[in-house]
Structure 1
């Protein structure tokens, strides 16, 4: 007999925890790795998993996939790194950000748009490091941004503050040395 939810005994009306969302994300990651999901399907389902409120919201996301046996690690959603070294790199559209995403620009330009990215969980940390480079990040219009970074002989402009609604918390860390870091909110749709 197949369980209604990803884990036997779960009540579909029960509120989902971050651990529940992570377990579903592991199943989705395994399905992507084995070719059962395309990257677009994976991103769409992962976005829905991290937006799920109840266990019942998670059911349709894994119903057509086999369960993952063994440990459910999520290296792809835990840490990401994007770097521009002596080059210009633009990252945007639909992609999966990590809970800890390091963005690094060294003698280059890195432009990252998080407005369509899948943000895993309710809080992510962006470690922004720029040495003699430029780093520009656009965050979703409903994001709450906390700046904890430093600058040395650099420009560092982080806007975003607190907003109304339930958008993600984006904690900005890292340092700029002889460079430029700009973080701003997308225009309200």
Structure 2
């Protein structure tokens, strides 16, 4: 009598690891930075990636992206003296918008005077486990967009936090600490842009 062998499970039904979820998040960030996903699609897929349980769940989030976008490219070797990311943004009676792939230093400053600003961290590279952002809005609004899965700590005067992400955060989730002062304006953190 032949021994009974249980059939191997389909790959799509296998449990995904934290590393698999992180790689999918990186792929989605690249696709968003390339303009392949709208704000709403990016937000929805990021939430799906962080909550995914199986390989099938993750594969469905990347199914309509071209093969050239889907693979995660290994990071190039870090040069001996890599260029430092910009440390501040200033807008004087103007609009400032930072979005796409950009490097965020451990401490970043944003000053907007009689204008408005959108600082989009959803596809940005956080260079430190804890990022501190010092924001001053004088008769201005500054909006910080953070991806789901990032722990946001906000403090100061005139700062609000939109509680859109209700999923669990990993113990080692990156932290963005926003210390803000707003005079006749506001500093706001969100996972989706205000429409």
Q: Give the whole-Å Cα distance in 1 for the aligned partners of 2:128 and 2:107.
A: 11
Measured on the aligned residues, the alpha-carbon RMSD in Å equals: 2.7
Q: TM-score, normalised by structure 1?
A: 0.55
**1:96-123 alpha-carbon deviations (Å, 9 max, x no partner):** 1111111111100111110011101211
Equivalent in the alignment of 1:157 = 160
Give the conservation status (yes or no) of the 8 Å contact 1:83–1:110: no
Partners of 1:140 and 1:117 in 2: how far apart?
9
Q: Distance in 1 between matches of 2:168 and 2:89?
A: 27
Point out 4+ residue stretches in structure 1 off by more than 3 angstroms.
159-163
Give the alignment's TM-score, normalised by structure 2: 0.53
Name which of 107, 126, 145 aligns with 2:133: 126
Larger-gyration structure (1/2): 2
2:142 to 124, 135, 141: 135
Consecutive unaligned residues of structure 2, counting only runs of 5 or more, are 1-72
1:76 correspondence with 2:92: no
CA distance in 2, matches of 1:86, 1:171: 26
**Residues 105 and 128 in structure 2, CA contact (< 8 A), matched pair in contact too:** no
Cα shift at 1:163 = 4.1
Q: Partners in 2 of 1:148 and 1:75 — Cα distance?
A: 30
User: What residue is the counterpart of 1:111 in the other structure?
Assistant: 118
